[in-house]
Amino acid sequence: MKINFEGKNKKLIVIVVMLLIIGQSFVSSISLKLLLNTTAIQIIFAGIFISIFVSFSMTTLTDTLRMTKESFIKEINYTEDIYKVHSLAAKVKRDGLLSIQSEINIEEDTFLRDAMILLNDYKKPEVIRDILEKDIEAREANLLKAYHVFKMISHVAPSLGLIGTLVGLIGLLANMHQPYEIMNNMAAALVSTLYGSLIANFIAVPIMVRIKEYVGKNILRYAMITEGILLIAENDSARNVFDKMNVMLKEEDRLAYPGKRADERNYQLHEFKI
């Protein structure tokens, strides 16, 4: 799996620089003591945790943490999938469908393994398509659970900021005769709104967009594998399997065909690793 570390590092540097600029603007405008208001922190973060723990199961929250991590560090490798399905097509053409049983046993990716099992069971292409499309729908629903968690955070964080503001104003009115309490409650009121907006717009929404993009990449991968497996089931050529999967990529990411049509039956492109 090839990861563009240079591009990632440049992006990280830009993000860090922008965060430092924003942080400097906060520090120069607001004292650190006022910015780190414990009342505002308690209202916002306790409220967010209560909301998501009540709304989602622990399994969903655990999957959300895993998926968020994967969206930052895991690259979807379409190239390996195209090569693997292409060599599977060449093997079926050369040795028949029953020859892929050994590859099924060692395949680690669950979607590709399930698709190979369906192919090996001699099911009709339309039956394979129907089953795999339903599998993709179920996988997409599971992948989008993390998106819905952050979507909820983006909705509740500003509302909790408003609640913190109201609590601060109530405290201010209740302590009009104590100047110190007036200042403390005013800070809590304003900082709560700030926290809610920052969490929603600088954390929840960007992660939502990133997860949505990551889900889209996975769905494209599943669709490519489905297309390749269906072509094999229809006894299409290995070259057509490669080309029709390849054309689903962006133009700049498409691969050059590595073999020649003349020696297709004797060429095995990708070795399945044990």
Tokens 């005769």 sit at which residue? 177
Number of other CB atoms surrounding residue 240 within 10 Å: 15
Provide CB contacts within 8 A for 219, sequence distance 6+: 136, 139, 140, 143
pLDDT of residue 185: 65
Give the tens place of pLDDT for each residue, 112-137. Answer: 999 999 998 877 899 999 999 999 99
Cα angle 214-245-223, degrees, rounded to a multiple of 5: 45
One-letter-per-residue 3-state SS of the chain:
CCCCHHHHHHHHHHHHHHHHHHHHHHHHHCCHHHHCCHHHHHHHHHHHHHHHHHHCCHHHHHHHHHHHHHHHHCCCCHHHHHHHHHHHHHHHHHHCHHHHHHHHHHCCCHHHHHHHHHHHCCCCHHHHHHHHHHHHHHHHHHHHHHHHHHHHHHHHHHHHHHHHHHHHHHHHHHCCCCHHHHHHHHHHHHHHHHHHHHHHHHHHHHHHHHHHHHHHHHHHHHHHHHHHHHHHHCCCCHHHHHHHHHCCCCHHHCCCCCCCHHHHHHCCCCCCCC
| CA 113 – CA 119 distance, rounded (Å) | 10
CA atoms within 13 A on the CB side of 59: 2
Cα angle 201-207-211, degrees, rounded to a multiple of 5: 145
Number of other CB atoms surrounding residue 231 within 10 Å: 21
Tokens 């991590």 sit at which residue? 69
pLDDT of residue 99: 84
Cα angle 3-8-10, degrees, rounded to a multiple of 5: 140
Q: Counting beta carbons within 10 angstroms of the beta carbon of residue 247, is it exposed (0 to 12), middle (13 to 18) or buried (19 or more)?
A: exposed
pLDDT of residue 267: 40
Number of other CB atoms surrounding residue 244 within 10 Å: 16
pLDDT of residue 216: 95
Pick from 27, 30, 50: which is nearest to 186 by CA?
30
Cα angle 18-159-140, degrees, rounded to a multiple of 5: 75
pLDDT of residue 6: 53
Structure tokens at 185: 């409650």
- What does each of the 274 residues of the chain score in pLDDT, given as a tens digit? 444 545 566 766 776 776 666 666 655 666 666 667 787 888 899 999 999 999 999 999 999 999 999 998 888 989 999 999 999 999 998 888 888 888 888 899 999 999 999 998 877 899 999 999 999 999 999 999 999 999 999 999 999 988 888 877 777 777 666 666 666 667 667 788 888 998 999 899 999 999 999 999 999 999 999 999 999 999 899 999 999 999 999 988 899 887 654 344 444 444 444 3
Give the tens place of pLDDT for each residue, 42-60. Answer: 889 999 999 999 999 999 9
